[in-house]
């Protein structure tokens, strides 16, 4: 008996085609990789009832439930509904699963809920970005990391968001122990020095990692109440030319970053190659072809940068070229 399967429909509905005819996997988004443990039981039920009992934890912090028969797709979408609601994923029509296959699950490190080095709540910002950009069929990859350690490998994504802090110094609490200086020298960029028994921070050199804050025993150095971020763009892996993302904004705020990401969707929609299969062309390739100045016009539409934000005016996207 033949099997009439609309693979375009199932891929758009976030089901993966596998090596075995008629069998695939159901992809489940988990923005920021953060969820209530109750979801795990729901995933288990689907895997044991409709799949082969195995679940793959993806590199993008989602789930792929293996062994799914395509004819069960509609029933599985009904089972996915409480998961989608619990994770607050945007939908066009409840009960019909995920409405797009494009923008990948937004991944994040564990953030300051747990990690002492993280400068912000990564899961919270990941969910804000998720609400702003999903559903969408353009294949963007976005990752968030709490500090410059970059545990989330943010620089390997189209957009990388790296947490920063503007260290606040209270000289009245400083005991001149130099723990902050030693930490910055051994673990970061050596941006601190001591003059007249007071700590001086080289503002141009400082990357806002917060190591000095974690090393200070008297809280003479603390994190700024205002949250700051570094936005990197055009990172990628892949066959032809893997490249690390380059800094676009330093000391930026979350609202402007979200707006720039949204503006980039409009830019890509305008300039993506008509020959791109499944409307899948890397942002960096498009910017290479169109020019960074044109991209910047689109990206900064309606964006008012803060006075302390530093913008890189020209980014030349370099890296390994296996296609040359």
What CA–CA distance (Å, rounded) separates 23 from 20? 5
How many domains would you assign to the chain? 3
Residue 91, pLDDT score: 93
| pLDDT 10s digits, 104-151 | 999 999 999 999 999 999 999 999 999 999 999 899 999 999 999 999
Residue 1, pLDDT score: 38
What CA–CA distance (Å, rounded) separates 12 from 137? 8
Alpha-carbon dihedral angle through residues 25, 31, 32, 34, given to the nearest 10 degrees: -80
- Of 222, 250, 266, the one marking the end of a domain is 222
Phi first, then psi, for residue 231 (nearest 5°) are: -105, 120
Same domain, 16 and 41: yes
Residue 320, pLDDT score: 82
Instruction: Provide the token pair at 223.
Output: 């994190």
What CA–CA distance (Å, rounded) separates 69 from 241? 36
Q: Does residue 321 form part of some domain? A: no
Same domain, 263 and 195: no
- Angstrom distances, CA of residue 117 to CA of 42, 157, 180: 33, 22, 14
Residue 3, pLDDT score: 54
Same domain, 66 and 137: no
DSSP 94-122: TTS--S-SSSPPPEE--GGGT-TT--S-H
Nearest residue to 266 via CA among 229, 237, 304, 297: 297
Same domain, 283 and 158: yes
Residues (pLDDT < 70) of the chain are 1-5
CATH number where 20 lies: 3.30.70.3340
Same domain, 238 and 218: no
Residue 217, pLDDT score: 98
Q: Does residue 318 form part of some domain? A: no
Same domain, 58 and 175: no
Cα end-to-end span (Å), the chain:
47
Domain that holds residue 188: 168-222
């Amino acid at each position: 008996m033949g099997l009439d399967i609309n693979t375009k429909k199932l891929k758009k509905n976030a089901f993966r085609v596998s090596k075995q005819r008629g069998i695939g996997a159901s992809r489940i988004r988990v923005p920021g990789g953060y969820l209530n443990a109750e979801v795990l039981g729901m995933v288990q039920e689907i895997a044991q009832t409709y799949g082969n009992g195995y679940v793959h934890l993806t590199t993008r912090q989602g789930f792929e439930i293996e062994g799914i028969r395509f004819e069960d797709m509609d029933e599985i979408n009904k089972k996915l509904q409480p998961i989608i609601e619990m994770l607050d994923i945007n939908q066009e029509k409840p009960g019909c699963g995920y409405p797009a296959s494009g923008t990948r699950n937004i991944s994040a490190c564990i953030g300051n809920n747990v990690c002492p080095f993280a400068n912000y709540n990564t899961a919270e910002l990941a969910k804000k970005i998720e609400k702003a950009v999903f559903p969408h069929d353009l294949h963007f990859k976005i990752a968030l990391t709490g500090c410059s350690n970059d545990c989330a490998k943010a620089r390997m994504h189209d957009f990388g968001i790296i947490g920063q802090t503007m260290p606040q110094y209270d000289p009245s609490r400083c005991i001149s122990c130099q723990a902050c200086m030693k930490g910055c020298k051994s673990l970061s960029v050596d941006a601190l020095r001591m003059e007249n028994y007071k700590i001086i921070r080289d503002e141009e050199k400082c990357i806002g990692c917060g190591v000095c804050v974690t090393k200070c025993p008297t809280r003479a150095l603390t994190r700024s109440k205002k949250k700051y971020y570094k936005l990197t763009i055009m990172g990628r892996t892949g066959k032809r030319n893997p490249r690390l993302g380059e800094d676009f904004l330093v000391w930026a705020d979350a609202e402007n970053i979200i707006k720039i990401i949204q503006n980039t969707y409009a830019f890509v929609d305008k300039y993506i190659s008509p020959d791109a299969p499944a409307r899948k062309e890397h942002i960096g390739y498009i910017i290479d072809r169109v020019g960074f100045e044109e991209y910047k016009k689109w990206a900064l539409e309606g964006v008012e940068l803060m006075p302390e934000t530093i913008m890189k005016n020209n980014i030349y996207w370099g890296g390994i070229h296996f296609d040359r």
